[in-house]
Amino acid sequence: METKFQYFAQFAKGNRWSTFDNLTSLIMQSLVHLGGINAGQDHVAADSTQESSSPKKKVVILGTGWAGMSFLKNLDSKLYDVRIVSPRNYFVFTPLLPSVTVGTVEARSITEPIRRIIRKKEAQFHEAECIKIDVDKKQITCKDVSDITFKGKEEFDLPYDYLVIAVGATSNTFGTKGVMEYCHFLKDIEDAERIREHIINCFETASLPHLSSEERRKLLNFVVVGGGPTGVEFSAELHDLVHEDLLCLYPHLKDNVKITLVQSGDHILNTFDRRISQFAEKKFSRDGVHVKIGCRVLEVTDEYIRFKAKDTGKLVDVPYGMIVWSTGISTRPVIADFMKQIGQEKHRVLATDEWLRVKNCEGVYALGDCASIEQRKIVEDIAYIFKQADKDNNSLLSAAEFVETMEEVRLRYPQIDLYMDHKHMKGVIGLLDEALNSGDQDNAQLDLEHFSAAMSKVDSLMKCMPATAQVAAQQGTYLAHSFNHIARHKPAEGPKRIRAEGRHRFNPFCYRHLGQFAPLGGEQAAAELPGDWVSIGRSTMWLWYSVYASKQVSWRTRALVMFDWTKRFVFGRDSSRM
């Protein structure tokens, strides 16, 4: 894989658009080492053997998305009796879903059958949907999703010792009327294919001879709700499809197509660096993609979509041909039921601790979009930490005491590292400087009150992890490591316990953000890269191609995706309606 990257890096270097030549290869090297789920890498230790003659513990994995697959790939399946349950017998490389909606890549090029992934593993896959989790009996109930079940045999139970919930999430309509009925979503392969068909339907119906030009304009008004990465990428892909391919085939519709991107916030791509969202807005305005910021969707009917402009309060009804709703995520029904069962009904998603264990629920783990880590605040344990640190019991921490303790404590509270990164601190001593509000470390005398104030500042920066493939994949890898560790009876490797004796078995999960991409159409992309680098333009698009090709789950999908890109360059996108 290194070799291929070097090739891409060289390519980018020789490229006349390249704006950050030296950076490119650096980044690629760092990206190669992402905790992804490449087929080439087998994280399972080669020397692993089943170390106990007792029956293997049953691990049931729900879901075949990023979290589930990353867990499965990294789990030493010889150590457990592994079952995977999912209504989808394939893994989807979701970051390329917007490309599938317009045919830049084909649906089957970004999916890999689960049974191929587990071919060399001791694991069983069942294509079924989990409809009930029974924590008392430690079993789940599953339902066959095909339409060829036998009467009275639609459901079956599976017992578990460990349950790994990685079922992902559904779209969130925020209760907006009509969204469920009239909007398209962009969560799964079927969604993408439905959108693809619908776009062509709009163009074909608009080409019928008996329509008025007003009706044509309505059919060709495409509305995208949500200015996040998915919404923006879909708008860009749709714009490319229309202008690079469809208008050559439907030249009579040239003046009727309109693409509108609706964002409730003040900017699109608002999780990205300000420069990126500005660039994206400018590019869209140049391309003729209408960006409506500060607009909230109130209602959708079969005729129009109703917005409210936040600043003026004015209501606008816009007729549409297609709406793609790409904002917000929501819990799946089975998880909502489960949350009620375990007293988490007030949470947005399943709450876990830092080790991905579902709270108050023995043997159940949750990761990916269906779960959220409730990170323990440092201030909750502040008295215990202070007491541990204060070796000489003088109720004041010296610099040495502070550093010694904090080096241990930062393992337990990942927010410390995030905070230090954010503030560009070189070590925990920076925290002391900040707490003391001075650089005089030699005479440092930190009392509980100031210590607590400093730590609550650290806690305040804590936020939920984004619902991205990156987080899910890292969580899967992390959890698999934990499972392998337990089954191999290895000693605890976590940080010291704060309130009790001994050590935690593992370090808590710590998310490493490795950057993010936003393709903007017309062979341009924007990227946030490790080390606060921002990169925009054509060379970034090439970086995007190389990173996304390298991150494919198998050599098969890698070859297919690269062929699809080539095909698009040579022949354009297909406009058959199927």
What residues make contact with a copy of itself under the rule CB under 8 A?
A: 88-90, 106-108, 111-113, 115-116, 119, 124-128, 144, 146-150, 153, 156, 158, 189-190, 193, 198, 200-202, 204-205, 207-211, 215, 219, 248-250, 321, 555-556, 559-560, 563, 567, 570-571, 574-578
- If the CB atoms of residues 99 and 344 are measured against a copy of itself, the closer one turns out to be 99
What whole-number distance in Å separates Cα of residue 120 and Cα of residue 127?
Answer: 19
When the beta carbons of 7 and 563 are compared against a copy of itself, the nearer one is 563
Task: Tell me the sheet residues that pair with 81.
Answer: 58
Residue closer to a copy of itself by CB (options 128, 334) is 128
Nearer to a copy of itself by Cβ, of 46 and 148: the residue is 148
Name which of 123 and 411 has its Cβ closer to a copy of itself. Answer: 123
| Cα–Cα distance for residue pair 128/138, rounded to 1 Å | 18
**Count of all residues that appear for the chain in the document:** 578
Would you say 352 and 366 are in contact if contact means Cβ atoms under 8 Å apart? Answer: yes
Element (H, E) at 238: helix 229-240
Q: Indicate the residue type of 92.
A: V
DSSP 450-519: HHHHHHHHHHHT--PPPSSHHHHHHHHHHHHHHHHHHHTTPPP-SPBPSSSSSB-SSPPP------EEEE
Whole-number Cα distances in Å, 476 to 32, 68, 103: 18, 6, 30
Tell me phi and psi for residue 200, to 5 degrees: -65, -40
141-165 as b/e, with b when 16 or more CB fall inside 10 Å? bbebeeeeeeeeeeeeebebebbbb
Going by C-alpha positions, the residue among 576, 572, 577 that lies closest to residue 241 is: 572
Least CB distance from residue 191 to a copy of itself, whole Å?
A: 12
Nearer to a copy of itself, 296 or 556 (CB): 556
Cβ at position 258, least distance to a copy of itself in Å: 16
Sheet holding 304-309, edge to edge: 295-300, 304-309, 315-319
Minimal distance in Å, beta carbon 144 to a copy of itself? 6
194 vs 387, beta carbon nearer a copy of itself = 194
- Tell the smallest beta-carbon distance from residue 215 to a copy of itself (Å): 6
CB 440 within 8 A of CB 432: no
- The Cα 317–Cα 298 span in angstroms is 10
With the CA atoms of 415, 421, 423 and 427 taken in that order, what torsion angle do they form, in degrees rounded to the nearest 10?
A: 90
Write down the least CB distance from residue 164 to a copy of itself, Å.
18
- The residue among 156 and 384 lying less far from a copy of itself, judged by its C-beta, is 156
Nearer to a copy of itself among residue 283 and residue 558 (C-beta): 558
Residues in Cβ contact with 535 at an 8 Å cutoff, skipping those fewer than 6 apart: 19, 20, 23, 526, 527, 529, 543
Decide whether 45 or 249 has the Cβ nearer to a copy of itself. 249
Instruction: Tell me whether residue 238 or residue 436 sits nearer to a copy of itself (CB atom).
Output: 238
What is the closest distance, in whole angstroms, from the C-beta atom of residue 240 to a copy of itself in the complex?
A: 17
Please identify which residue in the block is written with the tokens 């998310």. Answer: 511
**Least distance from a copy of itself to the Cβ atom of residue 141, Å:** 11
| Minimum distance from residue 85 beta carbon to a copy of itself (Å) | 10
At 139, which amino acid appears? Q
Measured CA distances, 196 to 217, 222, 259 (Å): 19, 12, 15
Q: How far is the CB of 453 from a copy of itself (least distance, A)?
A: 55
Neighbour count for residue 3 (Cβ, 10 Å):
7
The residue (of 139 and 330) whose beta carbon lies closer to a copy of itself is: 139
To the nearest whole angstrom, how small is the minimum distance from the Cβ of residue 111 to a copy of itself?
5
Measured from the CB of residue 255, what is the shortest distance to a copy of itself in angstroms? 18
Least Cβ distance, residue 342 to a copy of itself (angstroms): 26
Contacts of 395 (CB under 8 A, 6+ apart): 447, 448
Q: In 87-144, which ranges are E strands?
A: 90-92, 111-113, 123-134, 139-144
